[in-house]
Homo-oligomer: A and B are copies of this chain.
Amino acid sequence: MIDHRTLRVALLGAGSVGSQVARLLLEHADELEERAGARLELAGIAVRNIDAQRDVDLPRELLTTDASELIVGSDIVIELMGGIEPAKSYILEALNSGADVVTGNKALLATHGAEIFDAADQVGASVSYEAAVAGAIPIVRPLKDSLAGDRVKRIFGIVNGSTNYILDRMDRDGLPADEAAQIASDLGFLEADPTLDVEGYDAAQKAAIIASLAFHTRVSIDDVHREGITGVTAEMIESASRAGYVIKLLAVCERLDATGDGHEESISVRVYPALISREHPLASVHGGNNAVFVEAEAAGSLMFYGAGAGGIETASAVMGDVVSAARRHIAGGVGVGESPRGQLPVAPIGRIITSYQIRLEVSDEPGVLEAIASILTEGGVSAAAVEQTAIPSDGQAARAQLVIGTHRAREEALAATVERLAASDVVIRVASVLRVEGE
């Protein structure tokens, strides 16, 4: 059903993703016309600086600094500028002028998603954002459409490539954290502001978007419990490895059942470095790759794997959204919009239930193990495995490292127990506490 209409496409931003999107629109125009059912005419590219250096040579006559003028009369507006403003204003302008919007702006959606989706619903336009979550990996569409008749229980995944690269080099090549981070930076893996990656902000933005989709609930970045990887040391990786685990920065979005003691059904959205079994498919996600593991009631376990970033890879996700938006334009009718929203509350981190690996430095003397075991038992935390290693004493009092793998426990109970451990006479220090996921 080819309709020989021409759709006017406006592109905002010509960075590493935007310039590739422009190239695909120009070079693959015939193939795209067949796929979309209409000619996709790149009407112009709004940039801040027309003379800036770009990855791809773009026709100069398409470049403009006036985004608003470009938006008027466009059928599809692709926003790849990033940042909150002016991106947000342009998207609202586009929606109000009747255009469908395609964006890869995770920071914007994780903070102002509700406002943008409401604006789209009001005018019956669509906002697509496959590129905002895990680069080229289709995850938004599977959650929105393929699993629309199922019930998602849990999603956890590696959604930030640069931190995965760092942890992977530490794990596989034994590099110290700073050296691995330096290599990641040299390779261009890290954002200009590396704290976005290493402190988990980027992953937290994606987690907010994924949780919103999966649980039909509005989740913003402020709802996400976030811990980065800067505290992860070679010792933690080694202790994890000896117990059969690897450390990954995970984004976890989980449905928590209502409990007998008055807690209603809720969701937990969190980002932290966690232990995952070496047997788990996520453990073999190496380098800068991303993967998202979905557990649904009917579908069981699904995994989506691929390149989580990169200009050309992310451009593929943008183009999929553009073709879909074009088809919708031609088919007519109103946009489906975001699914109506459930109103599940977001639970505090203390409510989650998982298992843990606790590393303690203790006095190496008789009775220590008993003292610690009794603190655990009092706290309602039960040990599944304990490994004790003597620490070279350098003439000081004898010390040992104790690595305790726990059974599943509620985080608030675990945290209280760790406090009591820290206060105990036999414990010199609590070296680290990490959660275990995927079991």
Report A's interface with B, CB cutoff 8 A.
1-2, 20, 24, 28, 31-32, 34-37, 121, 124, 130, 136-138, 141-142, 145-151, 216, 281, 284, 296-307, 310, 312-313, 315-324, 327-328, 331-337, 339-340, 342
Nearest chain B residue, comparing its CB with the CB of A148: B323
Q: Quick one: which of A297, A320, A333 has the most chain B CB within 10 A?
A: A320
Shortest CB-to-CB span from A303 to chain B, Å, is 4
- Give Cα distance in the complex from A149 to B326, angstroms: 11
Shortest CB-to-CB span from A32 to chain B, Å, is 6
Q: Beyond A138-B146, A138-B302: 17 further Cβ-contacts under 8 Å?
A: A1-B121, A1-B334, A31-B151, A35-B339, A136-B296, A141-B141, A141-B145, A145-B320, A147-B316, A149-B316, A149-B318, A150-B319, A296-B316, A299-B313, A300-B313, A302-B304, A303-B305
- Give Cα distance in the complex from A383 to B1, angstroms: 50
Number of copies: 2
* Interfacial chain B residues near A146, Cβ < 8 Å: 130, 138, 141, 317, 320
Q: Quick one: which of A1, A149, A313 has the most chain B CB within 10 A?
A: A149
With A302-B138, A306-B303, A307-B300 known to touch, is A2 a contact of B331 (CB < 8 Å)? no
Within the complex, which residue of B151, B297, B310 is in contact with A300, where a contact is CB–CB below 8 Å? B310
Nearest chain B residue, comparing its CB with the CB of A140: B146
* Interfacial chain B residues near A298, Cβ < 8 Å: 20, 24, 136, 312-313, 315-316, 319
Decide: B28 and A340 in contact? CB cutoff 8 A: no
Decide: B313 and A307 in contact? CB cutoff 8 A: no
Decide: A340 and B37 in contact? CB cutoff 8 A: yes
Decide: A336 and B331 in contact? CB cutoff 8 A: yes
Shortest CB-to-CB span from A240 to chain B, Å, is 20
Leading 9 A-B pairs by shortest Cβ distance:
A149-B319, A333-B333, A138-B146, A299-B316, A298-B316, A148-B323, A332-B333, A136-B299, A302-B306
Nearest chain B residue, comparing its CB with the CB of A135: B299
Decide: B340 and A331 in contact? CB cutoff 8 A: no
* Interfacial chain B residues near A302, Cβ < 8 Å: 136-138, 304-307
Shortest CB-to-CB span from A299 to chain B, Å, is 4
Decide: A148 and B301 in contact? CB cutoff 8 A: no
* Interfacial chain B residues near A307, Cβ < 8 Å: 299-302
Shortest CB-to-CB span from A145 to chain B, Å, is 5
- Give Cα distance in the complex from A310 to B297, angstroms: 13
- Give Cα distance in the complex from A151 to B141, angstroms: 18
Shortest CB-to-CB span from A292 to chain B, Å, is 11
Nearest chain B residue, comparing its CB with the CB of A33: B340
Q: Quick one: which of A124, A136, A151, A307 has the most chain B CB within 10 A?
A: A136
* Interfacial chain B residues near A313, Cβ < 8 Å: 298-300
- Give Cα distance in the complex from A337 to B3, angstroms: 13
* Interfacial chain B residues near A327, Cβ < 8 Å: 336
Give 22 pairs: A residue, B residue, CB < 8 Å, sorted on A. Answer: A1-B124, A1-B334, A28-B151, A35-B340, A37-B336, A138-B146, A141-B141, A141-B146, A142-B142, A149-B316, A149-B320, A149-B323, A150-B320, A281-B284, A284-B284, A299-B307, A302-B305, A302-B307, A303-B303, A303-B305, A332-B332, A332-B334
Decide: A306 and B299 in contact? CB cutoff 8 A: yes
- Give Cα distance in the complex from A151 to B320, angstroms: 11
Nearest chain B residue, comparing its CB with the CB of A305: B303
* Interfacial chain B residues near A37, Cβ < 8 Å: 336, 340
* Interfacial chain B residues near A312, Cβ < 8 Å: 298, 300
With A302-B305, A307-B299, A334-B332 known to touch, is A35 a contact of B148 (CB < 8 Å)? yes
- Give Cα distance in the complex from A261 to B1, angstroms: 36
Nearest chain B residue, comparing its CB with the CB of A283: B284
- Give Cα distance in the complex from A340 to B330, angstroms: 14
